[in-house]
Amino acid sequence: MENISHSLFGAALAGATLPRDRSPLRRRVFYITGLLAANLPDLDLIYTRLTPPPLGYLLHHRGHTHTIVGLVALAVVPWLITLIPRVRKEIGDALGRYWLLVALALASHLLADGWNSYGIHPFYPLSNQWLYGDAVFILEPWFWTLLGVAVVLNIRYWRGRWLLAALLGTLPLIGLAIGLFPWPAVALLAAVGGVFILLLRPLDEARRSVIALVATGVFVLLSFNLNEAAVRQIRRADPDAAARTVDLILNPRPANPLCWDALRLTHEPDDTLLISQKSIPLPSAASPACGANTSLAWTTLARQPLAELRQLASENCSVNAWLQFARAPVISEGNISDLRFGNSLRGNFTTLRLDAAAAECPPYLTKWTPPRSDVLGD
C-alpha cells in the first residue's frame, strides 16, 4: 500500500484514540505518533541497498520490518519519543491511549500491505511463508476518499486542511488523466466524498474518525467478498484447469472493484508452468467496467519449463534468492521476471539479468519460502 493511505490510517486512528481532554500539543503528539507508527515498517527502504538490485528491494522491502516480531521491535521508536520530558508531560494520564494508538497504527500497516497481491510474511520466524490478500489494489483511491474526508475535517488549521484536500482531490484527477482510473469511478468517488463531507461535518473528531475507519473496513470486506466470487467463477468455469491450478493472482482495478484482473498459474502435464491472464467483470453484467480493450477469455502469457527454472535455481545463487519473492516467474531473453507486475516479457522492476555475475551469491540474503516451491521443490 502506498504511504498516503498508510498516513491516512495513522491520522484517522489518532483522531479515534485522542482523549477527550486535549491540549493543542497533546493533539500534535497523537497525530505525529499515528502518522509515524503507520509508516514505520517502510523504514526497510533505507537498507534495501545492502543487497544489489533488484534483489535488495525484492527481499528486504516488506521484509523483516513487515512481521509481527518486526512491529514489536519498531515500537521502540514511539517508546523513545515518550522519554522526551515535554512529550511525556503532554501524554500524561493518556499513556494507555497512546500505546493503543501505536499498536493499532503499526498493525494497520501490516494489515493494509497484506490485502494486495504483493504479499507479506507476518509470522516470521515461526513461518517464512508469504500470505497474499489478492483483494485490494496496491494504490486505492477509495481509501483516499473514505479516510481522507474525516482526516481533512479534523485538521484545525485552514492552510493544512486545504492543502490536504487539494492533494486528495487532485490525485484521482491525475489518475483519470493518465488512464489509471475510469471517469465513472472518479465521478462516484467525488459523489461519495461529497455525501461523506455532509455526513461527517457536524460530528466530533472521534466519531468522524471511527465512522471513516468502519466505512474503510466495510470496503475491504466487500473487496474480499468480490475476490471469493472471482475465484468461485474461475474454478466453476473450468474445473479441469482448476485441478491443475497452483496459484490464482487477483487484483481489482484501482478505484474500480467491478473489474478484476486475474493471472492463473497451472502446472501442466509436460512439467511446464502455464501463465494465463483474463479480466473478470463482477457481477458479470458489469463487463463495460473492464473497458473495451480487455480480454474476458484466458490469454496465454507464457509457458515456462519448470526443469529450466529448477536447474537455474540450483546453479545460480541470485536466481535462487530471487525465487524467494517471485510468484509468476518467467525466463525470457536472458532475463527472469515476475509477471505479476506487468505482463510484458521485456521486464519490470523485478527483472533479474541472468549473467555470470548473478551466479555469485550476493550478501545479506533472506530466508522467505519461495512462493513457487509448490512446483519447484525446496
Our CB check for Zn ion shows the closer of 60 and 278 to be: 60
Residue type for position 209: S
Q: Supply the angle between the helices 141-154 and 183-200 in degrees, to the nearest 10.
A: 30
Binding mask 56-95 for Zn ion (x = CB under 5 A): ----------------------------------------
Stretch that binds Zn ion, among 106-114, 248-256, 287-295, 355-363 (CB under 5 A): 106-114
Our CB check for Zn ion shows the closer of 113 and 247 to be: 113
Quote the longest CA-to-CA distance of the chain. Answer: 69
Out of 113, 140, 261, 338, name the contact with Zn ion by CB under 5 A. Answer: 113
The least distance separating Zn ion from the CB of residue 3, rounded to whole angstroms, comes to 8
Set of cell numbers at residue 130: 508469504
Nearest to 250 by CA among 340, 114, 134, 339: 134
Our CB check for Zn ion shows the closer of 41 and 371 to be: 41
Stretch that binds Zn ion, among 9-17, 108-116, 197-205, 345-353 (CB under 5 A): 108-116
CB 262 within 8 A of CB 328: no
Set of cell numbers at residue 32: 505525529
Spell out the residues 6+ positions from residue 88 whose beta carbon is closer than 8 angstroms to its own: 82
Residues in a beta bridge with 303: 274
The least distance separating Zn ion from the CB of residue 44, rounded to whole angstroms, comes to 8
Spell out the residues 6+ positions from residue 160 whose beta carbon is closer than 8 angstroms to its own: none
Q: Indicate the DSSP class of residue 67.
A: S
Residues 307, 291: Cα–Cα separation, whole Å: 38
Phi, psi of 75 (to 5 degrees): -65, -10
Q: Residues touching Zn ion: how many (CB under 5 A)?
A: 3
Set of cell numbers at residue 60: 528486504
Our CB check for Zn ion shows the closer of 113 and 140 to be: 113
The least distance separating Zn ion from the CB of residue 78, rounded to whole angstroms, comes to 17
Nearest to 274 by CA among 265, 284, 286: 265
Our CB check for Zn ion shows the closer of 131 and 187 to be: 131
Our CB check for Zn ion shows the closer of 42 and 338 to be: 42
Number of Cβ atoms within 10 Å of the Cβ of 362: 18
The least distance separating Zn ion from the CB of residue 139, rounded to whole angstroms, comes to 13
CB 15 within 8 A of CB 209: yes
Out of 42, 247, 261, 338, name the contact with Zn ion by CB under 5 A. Answer: 42
Stretch that binds Zn ion, among 105-113, 161-169, 224-232, 271-279 (CB under 5 A): 105-113
Our CB check for Zn ion shows the closer of 3 and 344 to be: 3
Set of cell numbers at residue 161: 486542511
The least distance separating Zn ion from the CB of residue 218, rounded to whole angstroms, comes to 23
Stretch that binds Zn ion, among 52-60, 107-115, 288-296, 348-356 (CB under 5 A): 107-115
Number of Cβ atoms within 10 Å of the Cβ of 340: 24
Q: Of residues 2-41, which lie at the interface with Zn ion (CB under 5 A)? A: 41
Which residue do the cell numbers 512491529 mark? 71
Residue type for position 19: P
The least distance separating Zn ion from the CB of residue 215, rounded to whole angstroms, comes to 22
- By CB atoms closer than 10 A (0-12, 13-18, 19+), residue 232 is exposed
Q: Of residues 128-157, which lie at the interface with Zn ion (CB under 5 A)? A: none
The least distance separating Zn ion from the CB of residue 62, rounded to whole angstroms, comes to 6
44 makes contact with Zn ion (CB under 5 A): no
Residues 174, 192: Cα–Cα separation, whole Å: 19
Our CB check for Zn ion shows the closer of 137 and 196 to be: 137
The least distance separating Zn ion from the CB of residue 272, rounded to whole angstroms, comes to 34
Element of type H or E holding 193 = helix 183-200
The least distance separating Zn ion from the CB of residue 327, rounded to whole angstroms, comes to 17
Our CB check for Zn ion shows the closer of 41 and 119 to be: 41
Give contact residues for Zn ion (rule: CB under 5 A). Answer: 41-42, 113
